[in-house]
Amino acid sequence: MAAILSSLLAGSVLLSGSVNAQNFGSNGPVEDAFSYVQPLNTTILTEYGSSPPVYPSPNITGVGGWEAALEKARAWVAQLTTEEKADMVTGQAGPCVGNIVAIPRLNFSGLCLQDGPLAIRVADFASVFAAGVSTGASWDKDLMYERGLAMGREFKAKGAHVALGPVAGPLGRSAYAGRNWEGFSSDPYLSGVAMEKTITGHQDAGVQACAKHWVGNEQEIQRNPVYDPNVTTVKTSNAISSNIDDRTMHELYMWPFANAVKAKAASFMCSYQRINGSYGCQNSASQNGLLKTELGFQGYVMSDWGATHTGVAAIEAGLDMNMPGGLGPYGLNFGVPSFFGGNITIAVNNGSLDTSRVDDMVIRIMTPYFWLNQDQNFPSIDPSSADLNTFSPRRTWTRNFTLTGERSRDVRSNHAELIRRHGAAGSVLLKNKNGTLPLKAPRNIAVFGNDAGEPTQSSVLNQNNYEFGTLFAGGGSGTGQFSYFVTPLQALQSRARQDGGLVHYWLNNTLIANSNVSTLLIPRGQPDVCIVMLKTWAEEADDRPHLSSDWDGDAVVESVASYCANTVVVTHSSGVNTLPWSDHPNVTAILAAHFPGEESGNSLVDLLYGDVNPSGHLPYTIAMNGTDYNAPPTTAINTTGFDDWQSWFDEKLEIDYRYFDAKNITVRYEFGFGLSYTTFNMSNLEVSPLANNITSFPENLPIQPGGNPALWESIYNASVSVSNTGSVAGAAVAQLYVGLPSSAPAGTPPRQLRGFEKLHLEPGETQTAAFELMRRDLSYWDIISQQWVIPEGEFTIYVGFSSRDLVVHDTVTVVG
Ligand code: NOJ
């Protein structure tokens, strides 16, 4: 791979007639302008906090199955004028969140790009699915695909060519980051599998996936530059820079995106922040180098909305599509011209931008379009999307969009049934004292907390942190628009009625936290169970100020538990909550229900009453205290320099359980933890090589999507027997962790997830969980050779039910 990179760069010389980044705006930073071309060497690549120039931008080859589509795209692009090519790479205000205009003379009806990772957001009569964090918590590969496929079908039926998801950045470096819930897990392996399954699902439905946000987008604060309020094109400070060393980049932050490329994601979205000093969307090392060269990405890179800060410099650095286009740096700042658009025509005509690069941009956009047959009978954009699109309302459109076809199409199909299942599968049972759950037809149920009931403001949920009403999803572009929803209170009431029970409720957290709960309850009789519903908001553009539940949730629990001996706590949350009352003797059960989607109440009642046996496991760690977490977001700086917002990822590989394990820190609930109503046993670990003489270094094979295919070859098999030793059916998740030999470089985490299998088992049943370990799974990224290397010595393979419940283990020596 290093050889390929070097040979590519050997041909990379200063381009004649080089332009500087100022061409398309006086505010374009030039730190990554292509006139800085230098030969790639390891010194530069390992330099921490600076981004080496990697040019030119590689052309698509179609390798990996897109060859025929590439030929179609080439022939199609050959018919375009320069102006049409500029249109193809530049967004416009229009009916969708992102729009590429039609070229009617070629029967091309344009492209519609829609958010987001849990629903088609700008739409009516569409479903709101379980969020990424719930999906990660399911540890269920089939569910991940099923959800991706169902979502893809809804996007397509509404006329959206591109779904702006799934999310692997943020990965979850910090528990406080505002968008972790849009993604799946802070573990790159779990996130990578979820990316692959979701993308395959979306694209099997005929919709292009967009893996976002590439890469190192680990906090919201200062994700964008700050502009002068009087001169809106002038920056007063640059966005935060995520400064990530080469090894950490490969083993954590790139890892799940490699799965996305392998799954043939049509598009990637580059991120707002800077990466090692250079803006994500004009960072040649990340786009030309890591993504298009090392990972062999064949699709196109679009900018996040307003993340483009230059024209030619960004294009040469690998950006293929500017979104939302002509709306200016703020996205909503109408009238500010695009860095792309007409400027591309000018640059091509004056020779400062080679047509071949523009052709490659358009070909990269059109190849997945043809590959997914989007040229054949693709549904029209539902006209209702245009009405709902507050991002670019009709009055802002400067180009023509003809909207045809049925308005307000109902695309929900039978998806409510699967969303109900997915919501339950993504809930994690953390405590269940004396078999409190499942509930046994309680007659007197008391419900507490402002997360239980109907929102009082509006059914247009999840756009802000409202006090009253249940929470199914976080905010920002990753949210959804509900056509209906089932609250926990509704579902509990209807279930209690079936059982001849009754439900009392108190929904005001301030009242509950400050009341003697016994005085509330005594007139209504001693409840059989008190259910406390808590919520935790998180949204795009902000990080979480704390890891507690919102609206004084901890005080609500204390207040209820001080009286009610059977207090069951349910959290609807974006992720980590510290749960300081978890050992309270009256808190008998805790269920982390995450963001389950529109069937929330039903998903919950299915679990509480045992119609569904909990099988979710934490996709992150719950520490004892918020202060136990390392790597917090950078929330302020003490200086005023233009470039001073820097976030040094000095913890390197030690995030989440990798950190807690390395430092031997006691946690409340570890990564991978989750209870069931049954019990499981595990035995008979067998680990065996699939080849003789496995070498440390991978064979240098021609790059395919996902990188060197040798990295994806299975080289070891492992299997364990898992038995259901209890009395009800349930699903166990067998989790395989690898401990690399001591010869691996310093900083290698003690154990890392490298396999998981969910098994549905009847009482008494035993099944085998089989794992295939690929070369990448047993390697570390060697910054010197620029290769994935299998270290010499003894590996320990652990399999268990969580990262700290490692039931069986074995040792193997891989290389030799
Ligand atoms: C900004 C967000 O970061 C991105 O995820 C989203 O797709 C775009 N806005 C469009 O809404």
What pLDDT does 333 receive?
Answer: 47
Residue 327: band (very low, low, confident or very high) from pLDDT cuts 50, 70, 90: low
List the 680-689 sheet strands across, edge first: 680-689, 714-724, 766-774
Pocket test for ligand 1, best of 96, 322, 477, 540 (most atoms within 8 A of CB): 477
**What's the gap in Å between 329 CA and the centre of ligand 1?**
13
Q: What is the pLDDT of residues 220-240, one digit of tens each?
A: 999 999 988 887 778 899 999
Determine the Cα–Cα distance for residues 707 and 735; give it in Å rounded to an integer. 26
Question: What number does the ligand 1 atom closest to the CA of 182 have?
Answer: 5
Best residue among 540, 542, 543 to mutate for probing ligand 1's pocket (most ligand atoms within 8 Å of CB) is: 540
Kindly name the residue from 140, 246, 304, 606 that is annotated as catalytic.
304
Q: Are 283 and 317 in contact (CB under 8 A)?
A: yes
Question: Measuring from atom 1 of ligand 1, which residue has the nearest CA?
Answer: 305
Task: List ligand 1's pocket residues with C-beta within 6 A.
Answer: 97, 115-116, 164, 212, 304-305, 477, 540
Counting from 1 in the atom list of ligand 1, the atom nearest the Cα of 391 is 11
Percent of the chain scored above 70 by pLDDT?
Answer: 92
Q: Distance, CA 306 to ligand 1 centroid (Å)? A: 9
User: Which pLDDT score, from 0 to 100, does residue 40 have?
Assistant: 38
Give the DSSP letter of residue 35: G
CA separation for the pair 389, 305 (Å, rounded): 15
Cα–ligand 1 centroid distance for 390 (angstroms): 14
Q: What whole-number distance in Å separates Cα of residue 779 and Cα of residue 744?
A: 9
Least confident of 171-175, 425-429, 691-695: 691-695
Report field, pTM of the whole predicted structure over 0.85: yes
**Token code pair at residue 373:** 């047959």
CA atoms of 468 and 475, how far apart (whole Å)? 16
Tokens at 136, concatenated? 């990660």
Query: Ligand 1: which atom is nearest the Cα of residue 272?
Result: 3
Number of neighbours of residue 39 by Cβ within 10 angstroms: 12
Helix (H) / strand (E) element for 343: namely helix 342-349
Residue 189 in this model has a pLDDT that exceeds 50: yes
Distance (angstroms) between ligand 1 centre and the Cα of 327 equals 14
Q: Is 304 a catalytic residue?
A: yes
Distance CA 602, CA 144 (A): 20
Cα–Cα dist 442/793, whole Å: 57
Strand order of the sheet with strand 752-761?
752-761, 730-739, 794-802, 805-813
Q: How far, in Å, CA of 456 to CA of 469, rounded? A: 6
Return d(Cα 25, Cα 338) in angstroms, integer.
Answer: 9
C-beta atoms surrounding 510 within 10 Å:
13
DSSP secondary structure string, 358-385? HHHHHHHHHHHHHHTTTTSSPPPPPHHH
CA dihedral 705, 711, 714, 716 (to 10 degrees): -160
8 Å CB contact between 305 and 333: no
Let me know: does 245 contact 657? Beta carbons within 8 Å: no
What pLDDT is recorded for position 44? 39
Angle between the N-to-C axes of helices 355-371 and 67-77, in degrees from 0 to 180, rounded to the nearest 10: 130
What does the angle CA 68 – CA 74 – CA 77 come to, to the nearest 5 degrees? 140
**CA of 582 relative to ligand 1 center, distance in Å:** 36
> Whose CA is closest to 43, among 548, 816, 786?
786
Q: What is the mean pLDDT of residues 490-503?
A: 97
**Residue 324 alpha carbon, nearest atom of ligand 1:** 10
Q: Which residues pair with 432 in a beta bridge?
A: 589
Question: For a pocket test of ligand 1, which of 164, 212, 223, 272 has the largest count of ligand atoms closer than 8 A to its C-beta?
Answer: 164
Residue 164 pLDDT exceeds 50? yes
Mean pLDDT score across all residues of the chain: 92
Burial label for 598, CB within 10 Å (0-12, 13-18, 19+), is buried
- Band of residue 3 on the pLDDT scale cut at 50, 70, 90: very low
pLDDT value for 43: 39
Nearest to 446 by CA among 525, 566, 531, 533: 531
Minimum mean pLDDT among 8-22, 494-508, 626-640, 716-730: which range?
Answer: 8-22
Q: Show the tokens assigned to 796.
A: 């320990």
Spacing, Cα 477 to ligand 1 middle (Å)? 5
In this structure, the strands spanning 794-802 and 730-739 are antiparallel
CA-to-CA distance for 138 and 593, rounded, in angstroms?
11
Cα(137)–Cα(153) distance, integer angstroms: 23
Measuring from atom 9 of ligand 1, which residue has the nearest CA? 305
* Tokens standing for residue 64: 């990996």
CA dist., res. 539 & res. 477, Å (int) = 9
CA distance 752 to 672: 12
Pocket test for ligand 1, best of 180, 268, 304 (most atoms within 8 A of CB): 304
Is residue 170 a contact partner of residue 615, using CB atoms and an 8 Å limit? no
Which atom of ligand 1 is the closest one to the Cα of 217?
A: 3
Separation CA 656–CA 669 (nearest Å): 12
Task: Look at strands 622-623 and 667-669 and give their pairing.
Answer: antiparallel
Q: Spell out the alpha helix ranges (H) of 350-461.
A: 355-371, 383-388, 415-425
DSSP 3-state of 428:
strand
Q: How far is the CA of 214 from the centre of ligand 1 (A)?
A: 12
Which amino acid, one-letter code, is at 112? C
Q: What are the tens digits of pLDDT across the range 616-644?
A: 999 999 999 999 999 999 999 999 999 99
Q: 413 CA to middle of ligand 1, Å?
A: 26
Question: What pLDDT sits at residue 232?
Answer: 73
State how far the Cα of 809 lies from the Cα of 718, in Å rounded to an integer.
11
Predicted confidence at residue 465, as pLDDT, reads: 85
Q: Does pLDDT of 463 surpass 80?
A: no
pLDDT of residue 45: 43
Ligand 1 centre and the CA of 773: distance in Å?
A: 35
Q: CA angle, 454 as apex, 449 and 458 as ends, to 5°?
A: 125
Residue nearest ligand 1's atom 3 by CA: 304
What residue owns the CA closest to ligand 1's atom 6?
Answer: 477
Q: Can you give the length of the chain in residues?
A: 816
Q: What is the DSSP letter of 250?
A: I
Sign of CA dihedral 166, 170, 173, 176: negative
Atom 5 in ligand 1: residue holding the nearest Cα = 477
Residue 755's nearest CA partner among 777, 775, 785, 776 is 777
pLDDT at residue 337 is higher than 50: yes
Per-residue confidence band for 16, with pLDDT thresholds at 50, 70 and 90 = very low
Least confident range of 9-13, 243-247, 302-306, 358-362: 9-13
pLDDT score of 115 more than 50: yes
Which run of H or of E encompasses 589?
strand 587-592
- Please report which helix (H) or strand (E) contains residue 445, including its range: strand 444-448
Q: Is 103 exposed, middle or buried (0-12, 13-18, 19+ CB in 10 A)?
A: middle
Strand partners, 720: 769
CA gap 749, 752 in Å, rounded: 7
Alpha carbon distance 604, 610 (integer Å): 10
The closest residue, in CA terms, to atom 11 on ligand 1 is: 477
Atom of ligand 1 nearest to the CA of 210: 7
Given this model, what pLDDT does residue 462 score? 58
Beta bridge partners of 733: 758
Give the separation between CA 177 and CA 574, rounded to whole angstroms. Answer: 10
Report the separation in Å between the CA atom of 215 and the middle of ligand 1, taken as the mean of its atom positions: 14
Atom number in ligand 1 closest to CA 478? 5
Average pLDDT over residues 53-82: 98
pLDDT digits (tens, 9 = 90+) for 764-805: 999 999 999 999 999 999 999 999 999 999 999 999 999 999
- The token duo for 85 is 């090519």
Burial class (CB in 10 A: 0-12, 13-18, 19+), 725: middle
Virtual torsion, Cα 407, 267, 619, 761, nearest 10 deg: 70
Rounded to whole angstroms, how far apart are CA atoms 164 and 161? Answer: 10
CA–CA gap between residue 331 and residue 351 (Å, rounded)? 29
Contact of 501 with 445, CB cutoff 8 Å: yes
Cα(267) to centroid of ligand 1, in Å?
Answer: 14
Q: What are phi and psi of 534, to 5 degrees?
A: -115, 160
Q: Is pLDDT above 50 for 330?
A: no
- Taking the centre of ligand 1 as the mean of its atom positions, its distance from the CA of residue 245, in whole angstroms, is 26
Residue having the nearest C-alpha atom to atom 8 of ligand 1: 305
> Ligand 1 atom closest to Cα of 212?
5
Position in ligand 1 atom list of the atom nearest CA 115: 7
pLDDT in tens, 194-216: 999 999 999 999 999 999 999 99
- With 60 as the cut, is the pLDDT of residue 17 above it? no
When pLDDT is averaged across residues 441-465 and rounded to a whole number, the result is 86
- Ligand 1 centre to CA of 521 (Å) is 46
Of the candidates 40, 31, 33, the one whose C-alpha atom is nearest the C-alpha of residue 12 is 40
Ligand 1 center to 592 CA (angstroms): 27
